[in-house]
């Protein structure tokens, strides 16, 4: 099976989902958008709170901005072109990075870490709602 055939077979296997099963995953995507628009704007405009929460301007902060912008763009695209498997993978990666953040940073008191953990909890529920569909796996 070549790559094109594989993609076609994946795309043709839609997962039937009711509106209740799609509500929280869509809310997770909306949450990403609502959180990341002001965060990315603050990073781009160099607001003072950014230094306190994310550190001084550095290449690492530029990389973080590019990751945040990627999450923002993907959230918007997936909100309008909803695909349960892509949304699950997308949210799962976010949960993993958000849960790993306090371990890697070495603190749980940073406001970004705290908000990330609450968002990870919300995204985890959305993942559970997606996975609860008997036709998902």
In the chain, which stretches have pLDDT less than 70? 1-20, 136-137
Closest residue by Cα to residue 94 from 10, 35, 40, 51: 35
Tell me how far apart the alpha carbons of residues 30 and 92 are, in angstroms, rounded to a whole number.
Answer: 16
pLDDT of residue 53: 83
First to last CA, the chain: 21
Position 117 scores a pLDDT of: 97
How confident is the model at residue 22, as a pLDDT?
A: 87
Question: Which pLDDT value is given to residue 67?
Answer: 96
Can you spell out the DSSP letters for 2-34?
-HHHHHHHHHT-PPP--HHHHHHHHHHHHHHHH
Place of tokens 């958000």: 98
Q: Which residue has the tokens 């070549």?
A: 2
């Amino acid at each position: 099976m070549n790559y094109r055939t594989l993609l076609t077979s994946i795309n043709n296997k839609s997962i039937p989902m009711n509106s209740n099963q799609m509500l929280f995953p869509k809310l997770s995507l909306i949450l990403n958008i609502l959180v990341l628009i002001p965060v990315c704007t603050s990073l781009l405009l160099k607001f003072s709170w950014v230094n306190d929460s994310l550190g001084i301007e550095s290449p690492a902060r530029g990389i973080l901005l590019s990751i945040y912008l990627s999450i923002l763009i993907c959230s918007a695209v997936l909100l309008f072109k909803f695909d349960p498997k892509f949304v699950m993978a997308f949210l799962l990666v976010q949960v993993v990075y958000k849960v790993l953040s306090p371990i890697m940073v070495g603190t749980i008191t940073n406001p970004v870490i705290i908000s990330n953990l609450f968002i990870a909890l919300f995204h985890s529920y959305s993942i559970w709602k997606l996975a609860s569909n008997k036709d998902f796996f």
